[in-house]
Structures are given as structure tokens and as C-alpha cells.
Amino acid sequence: MGKLRTLKWFVLFSALALVFAFAIAGCQEKPGEPTTPDEPATDEPVADEAAGPIKIGLAAPMSGDAAAYGEIIGNGAMMKIEEINEAGGINGRMLELVVGDERCDPKEAAAVGQNFASNEEIVAVLGHVCSSATLAAIPYYDEAGLPAISPTATNVDVAPSSEYMFRNVFTDDFQGRFMAIYAKEVLGVEKVGVFHENNDYAIGLKEAFVAAAEEIGLEVVGIEAYVADTVDFAPQLSKFKELAPDAIFIAGYYQQGGLILAQAMNLGLDVQFLGADGLNNPELINIAKDAAEGFLASSPLVYEVAGEEAQAFKEAFEEKYGLTPDWMAANAYDAIGMIAVAIEECGADREAIKDCLAGMDTPETGYVGIAGITVFDENGDCSKPVFVSEVKDGEFVAAEKQMLE
């Protein structure tokens, strides 16, 4: 699972009470403060003591089955916050991350959303992570006028549901369609099975994949479903084995995905497995072991084919946290960057931040981050290229065959 370091302290304090989250810059020297009584102050901006730190909420699964998402996203967010604070903060004020553990569960996410919305010190939110959890929290942010950026929620209804909701990741319909075309045109698949979880994220993926398959002549020989707490997939996998597809598309998250791959190997189901971003996590490999080899998944970012800044981020992340960042870490890092730019340019005010984010709507005004440029449309959605990752020698790397437009 890797090390949480500083982030675990945030989670501990947030669990006691959101309003008592600690200040990141507690023992740092204030910008502009003289080092000796006789030394004149510098021209750097001085923090407003009365105003205190600028608080940003992080809504993510810090415990439970999806905790690997929360860990990687939280670490990515903290890297950016620490960089900003070490450079003097924003207009002399430090950034502080207030963590809400929503476990990728709609009920828990609604409670976190309500807490964040009612805490007037929180000016923006990074999150949520899973689509169902995001949709459950949005009404509270909408009512309170609290802007949020999800780095990972891909269900098509997420951003269009509120003018305060943004995301710097592509949608399920986009990547679902992409993976169907990739299976047929790049992999040469003629018959495919579809295996999906019953949640907003996975159903959206399944529907987009199946619709695209019908359009391009990719035969869907069977569709099977499962629920989140399933541990035995033998009945559905046995059906797929009888149908003899060339490939199976899994729409779901890494926990069940890893079990599916392992159990398929035990059943002798030797087909190409592929999936989407929810399975593109190192924990899938830890669960599936050797059965993960050759697995393909869509991804908003593949470091091997990204730019120098992305490579530098990857190396710094590995050195700091002792684990390899996935695309979620990069998106979280960039999302904090967008919020910081909005605060610096428009002020630490919820409505002003929302308007500033909405103004990132052209290539000229968009945010250039390590995961590429983010330009929001009128719904708060963005368009980004889809990469494909492959598990090779026990880790996710860039697939040999890409389909970038």
C-alpha cells in the first residue's frame, strides 16, 4: 500500500473534527518576517494573521476497500500543496488540506459533502473519487456554492449536474467507446464479453462500450454483472468460458478486477482481459499476481510517453512516498494547481474560485499541468487523450500499441 506520511496525520485530525484540521505551515518562518529585531522586512507578501490558512477539502476514500485510491490521490495533492507553501503560499497565506474519508461510498460521501459545505473556511474541494460518491455529494456543494474538482470521477452526469462541479479527467462514454475501438482495430478482437459492476461508473462504461461495439461490428457474446462485495466470480467466468470470446472487457474497480483475473487463470480462461481507468492501479497487480500480466487498461496519463515535467513528478513522488504514482496522483496534483491559480487570480472566495475555474475555457486560458492542458467546457468537463497501459513484468507501463489521435 505504500506510506501515507504527512497525509495520515491529516486524516487523524480530520476524523476528530474538520474544524480542527491542523495548519501545514505551523512551524515555518513567515514570509517577510525579519530574522533579527534589527533586520528590515523584505518586500515579500506577509500572511494575514487574522485570515489564517486557506483551506481546501480532500474528499477521498482513506479507509476501506478503495483506500489505495485515497492514498495515491492524497499524496499527489500534498506534493503540490507543499510546493506552494514552501514557495511562500498564496499572497502570503499557506494552503491547508482538510481530509474527509468518504470510502467511495455514496452515504459516506454525502456526509463529507455536507460537512465541507457547512464549513465556511473551506473554499474549494478536491474530489470526490468514485462517480457514485461524487454524485451523492454534489447537491450539498451546489446549495452552498462550493466549487469542487474531481480528478477521477468519469460518469457522464458528474460535471453537468452543477455549475460548481469540474473535473480534469475524461468521461465514461469517451473511454468506453475508445476501448471498444481499440479492441477491434488494434487488438483484432472479433468477439468480446463484458463483465461489469452494478454502480454508476461501471454501468456508464458498459453502456458506452456496448454501444460502440454495435456500431463497429464487434460482437458482444455475453454481458455479466456483479456487486461490489462479490468475492467469487466463478459462475460468471464459467459462462464466459463457454461463450469463448476473444477478449473480456471489465468495467469496475481494481479490488474486484484483481480477483477476476486471478480466478479466470484458475479456471483456465485464457483470453485477453482489458478494462478502464478504475482498474489502472498497482493494487490490481498485488491482488492478481501473475494473472495480471498482459492486462490492458485505458489511462488519462502514461508517464513513459508524457513530457519531462511528468517524468520529474514521477521521480520526485517515488522518492518522497516510496511508491510509483499512477495517473490519479498526477490529476490530483494538477487539480490542486488549478485551485491555487484560481485563488491567486480571483481570491479565496468560493464564488470567485468557481468563476475563475469556469474561465479556463480556451487553450489560452486553460491550465497547463503535468498531465497536459485542461480546458473546461460549459459543463465543467474537459477533453483529454486516452492512453493504454499494459501490465508487464509486474507493473503498469505504456502498451506497445497506442491509438492517439
166/176 same-domain check: no
313/266 same-domain check: no
143/184 same-domain check: no
Q: Per residue in 227-249, pLDDT tens?
A: 999 999 999 999 999 999 999 99
Does residue 405 fall inside a structural domain? no
Q: Angle between the 308-321 and 67-86 helix axes, to the nearest 10 degrees?
A: 110
Q: Is the model more confident about 170 or about 39?
A: 170
Q: Per residue in 134-157, pLDDT tens?
A: 999 999 999 999 999 999 999 999
Strand-pairing partners, residue 58, are 99, 126
Q: Per residue in 310-351, pLDDT tens?
A: 999 999 999 999 988 999 999 999 999 999 999 999 999 999
Least confident among 45-54, 312-321, 366-375: 45-54
Q: Which of 225, 228, 232 is nearest to 203 (CA)?
A: 225
260-287 average pLDDT score? 97
52/148 same-domain check: yes
251/328 same-domain check: no
Strand-pairing partners, residue 249, are 194, 274
Domain enclosing residue 47, as ranges: 6-170+309-374
Confidence at residue 385, expressed as pLDDT on a 0 to 100 scale: 87
Amino acid at 313: F
Q: Which of 154, 379, 363 is nearest to 251 (CA)?
A: 154
Confidence at residue 335, expressed as pLDDT on a 0 to 100 scale: 98
176/158 same-domain check: no
Does residue 274 fall inside a structural domain? yes
Distances, alpha carbon 180 to alpha carbons 121, 207, 305, in Å: 45, 11, 22
Q: Per residue in 191-216, pLDDT tens?
A: 999 999 999 999 999 999 999 999 99
Share of the chain above pLDDT 70, in %: 87
Q: Per residue in 50-96, pLDDT tens?
A: 579 999 999 999 999 999 999 999 999 999 999 999 999 999 999 99
Helix (H, G, I), strand (E, B) or coil at 251: strand
Q: What is the DSSP letter of 183?
A: I
Band the pLDDT of 285: cuts 50, 70, 90: very high
**Domain containing 313 — which CATH number?**
3.40.50.2300
Q: Is the pLDDT of residue 35 over 70?
A: no
Across the chain, mean pLDDT equals: 89
101/202 same-domain check: no
Least confident among 9-23, 99-113, 185-199: 9-23
Q: Is the model more confident about 181 or about 372?
A: 181
Least confident among 48-52, 128-132, 156-160, 178-182: 48-52
pTM, whole model, 2 decimals?
0.82
Q: Assign 3-state DSSP to the chain and report helix, strand, coil percentages, each to 5.
A: 45, 20, 40
Specify the number of domains making up the chain: 2
Distances, alpha carbon 274 to alpha carbons 237, 244, 280, 293, in Å: 15, 16, 10, 11
Confidence at residue 383, expressed as pLDDT on a 0 to 100 scale: 84
Does residue 404 fall inside a structural domain? no
Confidence at residue 384, expressed as pLDDT on a 0 to 100 scale: 85
Tell me, letter by letter, the H, E, C secondary structure of 278-309: HHCCHHHHHHHHHHHCCCEEEECCCHHHCCHH
Are 37 and 106 in contact by the 8 Å Cβ rule? The answer is: no
Count of other CB atoms within 10 angstroms of residue 255: 25
152/178 same-domain check: no
Q: Is the model more confident about 206 or about 32?
A: 206
Does residue 76 fall inside a structural domain? yes
